[in-house]
């Protein structure tokens, strides 16, 4: 191991032979750091962290800190991090607040400087999270999403796979897969065509995602009608992710910036298109 003499490493920590640990780092007990990881100066890796192979943690990051909770548990949970992740300067990742729980980060994610992942978040694979993003507790992120700088995501919200969230958005509801959120209004403005092309989807597949988008945001349907169409007509492959998220949503979804003119009726009550329970 290449451990700087100023680093403090608990003897019980399980660290692969080729791990690099820079000056003034603190590696606590009950930690596992797998092969190929590079830990830069002044990083703290707290108890309960498992870090997969080939991760890079830059200066002053804190991985595995206690959750910022007014009633902290007596026995917090852990953090499980996959392989090939990058945490830039001053990133923070907090442990689960449940004794048997985990904050989970998958593989291949890139977290830019000052990104914050709160307790009990579940982050998928190959996401890009830009500077100063804040994920509240219990936030779920899918795969290959792009979350721009300064975005704040309310606790218990989800951001779907292949979504793109514009800078400084305030996310207080779920962001469906494949869509694009405008940073100025924090509203949905269409599908993430560029991100979908970069992820290898064909023009025909992207057109299919557009059809899904129209069902959710353009036809003025009730929530029940939206779910039924998604379940019966868009239930194959990646497009099925939309039904999976929407059918499980407890917070509702981010609304579109441009609303359909048609007013809808949900459960017998007239509501305008901005209603939280509406699909459009």
CATH (domain of 111): 2.160.10.10
Nearest to 124 by CA among 148, 149, 146: 146
| Residue 222 domain boundaries | 201-271
Give a yes or no: residue 8 inside a domain.
yes
> Does residue 266 share a domain with residue 179?
no
Give the count of beta carbons closer than 10 Å to the beta carbon of residue 20: 14
**How much is the pLDDT for 237?**
94
Beta strands in 225-275 (DSSP E): 264-266, 269-271
Q: CB under 8 Å to 89, separation ≥6 — which residues?
A: 58, 59, 60, 61, 113, 114
| 260/219 same-domain check | yes
The four Cα atoms 34, 159, 246, 99 give a dihedral, to 10 degrees, of 50
Is residue 277 in some structural domain?
Answer: no
- Can 183 be counted among the known catalytic residues? no
Task: Please check whether residues 165 and 28 belong to one and the same domain.
Answer: yes
Q: CA dist 23 to 26, 44, 60, 243, Å?
A: 9, 11, 11, 48
pLDDT value, residue 74: 79
- Could you give the angle at the alpha carbon of 115 between the alpha carbons of 31 and 240, nearest 5°? 90
Q: How far is CA 214 from CA 68, 117, 195, in A?
A: 39, 32, 18
* Contact by Cβ (8 Å): 136, 118: yes
Angle between helical axes of 203-217 and 223-233 (0-180°, round to 10):
160
**pLDDT reported for residue 39:** 98
Per the DSSP assignment, residues forming a β-bridge with 148 are: none
Is position 132 within any domain?
yes
Shared domain check, 140 and 173: yes
- Same domain for 264 and 190, yes or no, is no
Q: Are residues 38 and 159 in the same domain?
A: yes
Assess whether 162 and 236 both reside in one domain: no
Distances from the Cα of 136 to the Cαs of 61, 113, 115, 141, 249, in angstroms? Answer: 18, 17, 11, 12, 17
Q: What is the pLDDT of residue 265?
A: 42
Alpha-carbon radius of gyration of the chain: 21
Final residue of a structural domain among 196, 216, 235: 196
- Catalytic residue chosen out of the listed positions 137, 142, 160, 195: 137
> Which parts of the chain register pLDDT below 50?
263-280
Q: Does residue 105 share a domain with residue 78?
A: yes
Identify whether 106 is part of a domain.
yes
User: Domain boundary at 149, 174, 196, which?
Assistant: 196
Contact in structure between 278 and 254 (CB atoms under 8 Å): no
If asked whether residues 174 and 227 sit together in one domain, one would say no
Q: Identify whether residues 141 and 258 lie together within a single domain.
A: no
Q: What pLDDT shows up at residue 35?
A: 98
154 is catalytic: no
- CATH code, domain carrying 246: 1.20.1180
Residue 278 lies in a domain: no
Please indicate, yes or no, whether residues 57 and 136 belong to a single structural domain of this protein. yes
Last residue of a domain, one of 172, 196, 220: 196
Residue 280 lies in a domain: no
Q: Is residue 102 a part of any domain in this protein?
A: yes
Instruction: Give 1's contacts (C-beta < 8 A, 6+ positions apart).
Output: 15, 16, 17, 18, 19, 21
Q: Is the pTM of this model over 0.85?
A: yes
Q: Is 120 a catalytic residue?
A: yes
pLDDT at 273: 35
Does one domain contain both 71 and 190?
A: yes
Set 94, 116, 119, 140: catalytic member: 119
pLDDT at 268: 35
Point out the catalytic residue in the list 120, 143, 174, 182: 120
pLDDT of residue 261: 60
In a domain, 276, yes or no: no
- Please state the domain count of the chain: 2
């Amino acid at each position: 191991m290449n451990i700087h003499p100023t680093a403090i490493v608990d003897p019980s920590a399980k660290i692969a032979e080729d791990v690099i640990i820079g000056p003034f780092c603190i590696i606590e007990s009950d930690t596992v750091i797998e092969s190929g990881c590079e830990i830069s100066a002044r990083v703290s890796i707290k108890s309960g962290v498992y870090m997969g192979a080939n991760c890079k943690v830059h200066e002053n990051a804190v991985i595995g800190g206690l959750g910022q909770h007014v009633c902290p548990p007596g026995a917090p949970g852990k953090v499980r991090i996959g392989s090939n992740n990058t945490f830039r300067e001053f990133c923070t990742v907090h442990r689960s607040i449940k004794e048997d729980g985990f904050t989970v980060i998958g593989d291949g994610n890139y977290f830019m400087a000052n990104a914050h992942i709160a307790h009990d978040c579940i982050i998928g694979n190959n996401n890009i999270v830009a500077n100063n993003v804040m994920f509240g507790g219990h936030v779920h992120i899918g795969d290959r999403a792009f979350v721009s700088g300064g975005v704040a995501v309310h606790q218990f919200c989800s951001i779907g796979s292949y979504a793109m969230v514009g800078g400084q958005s305030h996310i207080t509801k779920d962001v469906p897969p494949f869509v694009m959120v405008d940073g100025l209004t924090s509203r949905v403005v269409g599908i993430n065509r560029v991100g979908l092309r970069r992820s290898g989807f064909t023009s025909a597949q992207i057109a299919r995602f557009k059809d899904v988008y129209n069902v959710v945001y353009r036809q003025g349907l009730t929530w029940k009608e939206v779910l039924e169409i998604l379940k019966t007509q868009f239930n194959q492959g990646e497009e099925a992710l939309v039904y999976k998220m929407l059918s499980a949503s407890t917070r509702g979804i981010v609304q579109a910036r441009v609303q359909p003119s048609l007013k809808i009726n949900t459960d017998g009550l007239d509501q305008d298109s901005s209603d939280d329970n509406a699909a459009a």
